[in-house]
Amino acid sequence: MTLEVTDFSARYGRIEVCRGIGFTVAPGEFLVVLGANGAGKSTLLGALAGLVTSTGEITLDGTRLDAAPARRRAGMGVALVPEGRRNLFAPLTVDENLQLGLRLLPAGEREAMRAELLGLFPILAERGRQAAGMLSGGEQQMLALAVALARRPAVLLLDEPTQGLAPIVLDELAAAIRRLRPLGLALVLAEQNVRFAAGLADRYVALRGGEIVQAGGADELRDHRFAAASLLGAAA
Amino acid sequence: MTFSEFILRGVLAGSIYVLLAVPMSLLFSTVRTIDFAVGAYALVAAAVAASVGGVLGIAAGLGAAVAGSAAMALIFLLLKRFGCHNHIIYALASFGVATALASAVLWQYGTQSFVRDSFSQFWSLAGIRISPQGVLNLVTALVAVTILYVVIQRSQLGRMMRAAAVNVMGSELAGIPVELIQVGTYLVGGLLGGIAGLLILFTAGLDYSAPLSLTLSGFAAAIVFGIDNPFRALFGGLAMGVAEALAAGYTSGMVTSMVPFLFLLIVLGTSRFGDATVAGDRT
């Protein structure tokens, strides 16, 4: 399904954090939203998921989502993995977290989906009875992805998955995200680690002060000096 | 009476506290607030059951208690809708509901005591006389806690309740109906409070002034081993029943009435209230 965002703004109370945002993400396409701290990336993704007040249009293959609360958007095909893996339930086991993710699927499809997820993230099969809060950061990120994917979303919003992870885990995480491509998801990845994002993106948009200041193809991101200077205003 | 007799009687009496403590703990785990109207639900159930009589009276009493908790749940929802997310306000609102329910009973039935005879004969266990009603109370409490345990630990509904308790935002993102679960928890509180009221009706009886002391006893039992776990409230309730029985046996009635307050003092003094740490929580 194609995600289309038009003239989209998000606000906390009277403070408008993002404004005039517009982009389209086709099925199977990975769009990276780049920006420094405070650029509005997390607010944008939170608003797309229904957690933050917003105006403007969000459509999924033409169906309007913007009036629906977060809980209903979850059922309409939008999944968010927030910063810090806050979609996980720390005291519940890995299996229980997965079961909660699977509950929006028809009962007959759950076991097959569970097997598919454990195929995508094999480490979770070994951790089934362990509390989610006891996993390492990298394992938690895999579980957070699996929980979000469990209901077969059409759109996956991934907010700074590299945050708090050791550099050695990042390659493993990037490989896990690449494995999602055949699922045909429209993926929106908010990131400030340009090197990580460049390895995954098809296209990018750069946010500064809550507005899109630049957009382009993945090739531009692979020139790190260009990316650091023009996108983040800092070393990447 | 012997020490073992006091212990046994305490356990039987404590089962009522279990039924009052478990819903308080359950609500705290799910909504992070306290429903201080639990004692009032017990009074309403007993008053309605006594006035209607028979099996119909029992059903009507339970229905009235659940209706009382539904009123509290409605107030909770309205407060949330108007932007109040302060859990202390929810707890204070429950005091208001408790007062309103007790006043309604006083207005409708006056100051009469609600008490009904149950079993005329007693059983003997190792030379100790025990009331069949006391055993029924204990069995009822154990069955209620067992059902609750199975639902919370083994069912999808229980997983959703535990999820909503620890991570509201994550629950919304997972499509879990958080508000519905919170309202349901209030209603379960009304049902368990109502069952406690019916058991008291057939045990010692109660009048319009009972809700406050029942609520305090339930609250003390709920927090003594940690309010975050409804199953610990089982042991809290039984411990308080035993403490009261021993106090009644070896000291004066005044000390007995102080037992709930002593429990509260111990918990508050050792800072155990709201100790919500989760082992291994690294997120």
Residue A118 sits in the same domain as residue A103: yes
Q: Does A151 touch chain B (CB under 8 A)?
A: yes
Three-state DSSP at A104 gives: coil
Residue of A nearest to B154 (CA): A96
Q: Give B111 or B3, the one with higher predicted confidence.
A: B111
Is the per-residue pLDDT at B133 higher than 80? yes
Which chain A residues contact residue B170 at CB under 8 A? 86-89
State whether A100 and B178 contact (CB < 8 Å): no
A29 to chain B nearest CA, in Å? 22
pLDDT of chain A, 236 residues: tens digit per residue = 899 999 999 999 889 999 999 999 999 999 999 988 888 999 999 999 999 999 999 999 989 999 999 999 999 999 999 998 889 999 999 999 999 999 999 999 999 999 999 998 999 999 999 999 999 999 999 999 999 999 999 999 999 999 888 888 898 899 989 988 888 999 999 998 888 888 899 999 999 999 999 888 888 877 766 666 556 654 34
Please state the domain count of chain A: 2
Half-sphere exposure of A5 (CA within 13 A, CB side): 24
Band of pLDDT at residue B282, cut at 50, 70 and 90: very low
Say what the pLDDT of residue A230 is: 56
* Long-range CB contact pairs, A170-177, < 8 A, 24+: A170/A196, A172/A138, A173/A138, A173/A141, A173/A142, A174/A199, A174/A200, A176/A120, A176/A121, A176/A142, A176/A145, A177/A30, A177/A145
B180 to chain A nearest CA, in Å? 12
For residues A188 and A45, the answer to whether their CB atoms sit within 8 Å is yes
Residue A45 sits in the same domain as residue A97: no
Domain boundaries, chain B: 3-112+128-269
Q: Does B271 touch chain A (CB under 8 A)?
A: no
A84 domain residue, yes or no: no
State whether B175 and A74 contact (CB < 8 Å): yes
User: What pLDDT digit, counting tens, does each position of B84-115 carry?
Assistant: 889 999 999 999 999 999 999 999 999 999 99
Say what the pLDDT of residue B255 is: 79
State whether A51 and B280 contact (CB < 8 Å): no
Q: Which residues pair with A191 in a beta bridge?
A: A34
State ipTM: 0.87
Of the candidates A152, A171, A188, which is a domain's last residue? A152
Residue A192 sits in the same domain as residue A143: no
Residue A62 sits in the same domain as residue A174: yes
Which chain A residues contact residue B81 at CB under 8 A? none
Residue A43 sits in the same domain as residue A157: yes
Residue A105 sits in the same domain as residue A157: no
User: What pLDDT digit, counting tens, does each position of B223-281 carry?
Assistant: 888 888 888 899 999 999 998 888 888 887 777 888 878 888 887 777 656 554 433 34
For A25, A162, A195, A233, B74, the CA distances from A221, given in Å and listed in that order, are 18, 17, 8, 14, 53
CATH class of the region B3-112+128-269: mainly alpha
Say what the pLDDT of residue A1 is: 87
* Residue A198 lies in domain: 3-77+153-232
Say what the pLDDT of residue A98 is: 96
Residue A45 sits in the same domain as residue A162: yes
Chain B 133-172, residues with CB within 8 Å of chain A CB atoms: 156, 159-160, 162-163, 166-167, 169-172
Size of interface A-B (CB pairs under 8 A): 93
Those residues whose C-beta lies under 8 Å from the C-beta of residue A220, and which sit 6 or more positions away, are: A204, A226, A227
Residue A170 sits in the same domain as residue A119: no
A83 domain residue, yes or no: no
How confident is the prediction for chain B on average, in pLDDT? Answer: 89
Is the per-residue pLDDT at B283 higher than 50? no
Residue A167 sits in the same domain as residue A204: yes
For residues B35 and B214, the answer to whether their CB atoms sit within 8 Å is no
Q: What is the CATH number of the domain that holds A190?
A: 3.40.50.300
If you average pLDDT over residues B114-138, what whole number do you get?
86
Q: Shortest CB distance from A90 goes to which of B159, B178, B278? A: B278
Residue A68 sits in the same domain as residue A167: yes
User: What pLDDT digit, counting tens, does each position of B156-191 carry?
Assistant: 999 999 999 889 999 999 999 999 999 999 999 999
* Secondary structure of chain B as H, E, C letters: CCHHHHHHHHHHHHHHHHHHHHHHHHHHHHHCCCCCCHHHHHHHHHHHHHHHCHHHHHHHHHHHHHHHHHHHHHHHHHHHHCCCCCHHHHHHHHHHHHHHHHHHHHHHHCCCCECCCCCCCCEEECCEEECHHHHHHHHHHHHHHHHHHHHHHHCHHHHHHHHHHHCHHHHHHCCCCHHHHHHHHHHHHHHHHHHHHHHHHCCCCECCCHHHHHHHHHHHHHHCCCCCCHHHHHHHHHHHHHHHHHHHHHCCHHHHHHHHHHHHHHHHHCCCCCCCCCCCCCC
Return d(Cα B185, Cα B208) in angstroms, integer: 25
State whether B166 and A71 contact (CB < 8 Å): no
Say what the pLDDT of residue B275 is: 52
Which chain A residues contact residue B176 at CB under 8 A? 71, 100
Residue of A nearest to B172 (CA): A71
Say what the pLDDT of residue B123 is: 85
Q: Shortest CB distance from B175 goes to which of A75, A86, A134? A: A75
Say what the pLDDT of residue B15 is: 93
Say what the pLDDT of residue B281 is: 42
A97 domain residue, yes or no: yes
Residue A7 sits in the same domain as residue A117: no
